[in-house]
Amino acid sequence: MATPKKSTRRTIDRSRLQALMSREEEKFVTERPLSAALYARAQKSLLGGVPMNWMKKWAGKFPVFVAEAHGAHFQDVDGHDYVDLCLGDTGAMTGHSPSPAATAIARQVNHGITLMLPTEDAARVGEELTRRFGLPYWQFTLTATDANRFAIRIAREITQRQKILVFNYCYHGTVDETYISLHNGVPGPRRGNIGPPINPVETTRVVEFNDLAALERELAHSDVACILAEPVLTNVGIVHPEPGYWEKAAALARKFGTLLIIDETHTICTGPGGYTRAHGLKPDLFVIGKPIASGVPAATYGCTGDVAQKPRAASSWKIATLAESEALSQATRFR
């Protein structure tokens, strides 16, 4: 009987690993005294010392505080230069402060920042969105979350159905209905969701991306107002659709009277017309946020002529208006 070969695999020296880690952590702190001081100061006024709580998920002892950002780089307050590898998940997807946008924004700031009336620019932007994405009608919001919410409300109003359908581990912003995932195939609240209003199984059906049989099974309940989907899942790694997937998924949606909302907030990086244009998708409603205003918070949702003309769509636009005028009357009360 042959004697087993001695393994050539080397085990990692954990104590050396720990020593290297401690050395790097210490170096990080000593080289960033101004960020450290700002982080300590911000503890007194910002929850957790940061403006948005996920900024704490930084590898060092504290997040670096930014002094300036241009193109693909930013500099921290201690003078270090970094390549910004977070660009793709932010409104700065096309680079920090691109000069045509910075010039146009600076010009507008001196002519009114926010109004409760339209401007010629709004119509111009609507025309450009139609040229790029093909859908004829557009409305604006400040975040993609909000654009998704409006699109869902319109779909619910038109179809008079309560539920929406999303893909497992999707992300569409802080839309409560989307915080659902499959646990061993069983839908339930998504891990780590804070303060869910109700169990999302009440509002949402969830299936694995690329699983057409599951999609058909869930749509067949005929209670789904809309599918809310990224054309490629980008928030759980990158999951591409199988060839022909979207054609078949859209046909299933049509068969069961469900509207298709495509959220292009990340997949706009496919090209100027997004994944929708590049791959000939035909959504009923279309959402995009983040990079459309080069970093200024803005988002938009568009719809087909068919959706806009549905008798119930008119009342949906009215609902949106009512929500806004309610917000206005609240704001006026506190003045």
Ligand X SMILES: Cc1ncc(COP(=O)(O)O)c(C=O)c1O
For 9, 199, 222, 307, 309, the CA distances from 312, given in Å and listed in that order, are 67, 28, 18, 9, 8
What is the Cα–Cα distance from 29 to 33, expressed in whole angstroms? Answer: 7
Nearer to ligand X, 227 or 299 (CB): 299
What is the Cα–Cα distance from 14 to 148, expressed in whole angstroms? Answer: 47
What is the Cα–Cα distance from 126 to 135, expressed in whole angstroms? Answer: 10
- Residue from 150, 171, 275, 301 touching ligand X (CB under 6 A): that is 171
290 binds ligand X (CB under 6 A): yes
Work out the angle at residue 134's Cα, subtended by the Cα atoms of residues 140 and 216, and round it to the nearest 5 degrees.
90
Residue 106, SS3 per DSSP: helix
Question: Minimum Å distance from CB 86 to ligand X?
Answer: 11
For 14, 17, 38, 39, 61, the CA distances from 25, given in Å and listed in that order, are 16, 12, 18, 16, 7
149 binds ligand X (CB under 6 A): no
Nearer to ligand X, 38 or 287 (CB): 287
- Residue from 75, 94, 130, 143 touching ligand X (CB under 6 A): that is 143
Which residue is nearest to ligand X, using beta carbons?
Answer: 173
Question: Minimum Å distance from CB 170 to ligand X?
Answer: 8
Residue 2, SS3 per DSSP: coil
Nearer to ligand X, 62 or 171 (CB): 171
Question: Minimum Å distance from CB 8 to ligand X?
Answer: 44
Task: From 112-120, 206-214, 261-269, 270-278, give the range in contact with ligand X by CB under 6 A.
Answer: 261-269
239 binds ligand X (CB under 6 A): no
Contact 207, 167 (CB under 8 A): yes
Question: Minimum Å distance from CB 89 to ligand X?
Answer: 6
Q: Rule CB under 6 A: which residues touch ligand X?
A: 89, 143-145, 171-173, 230, 235, 263, 265-266, 289-290, 299
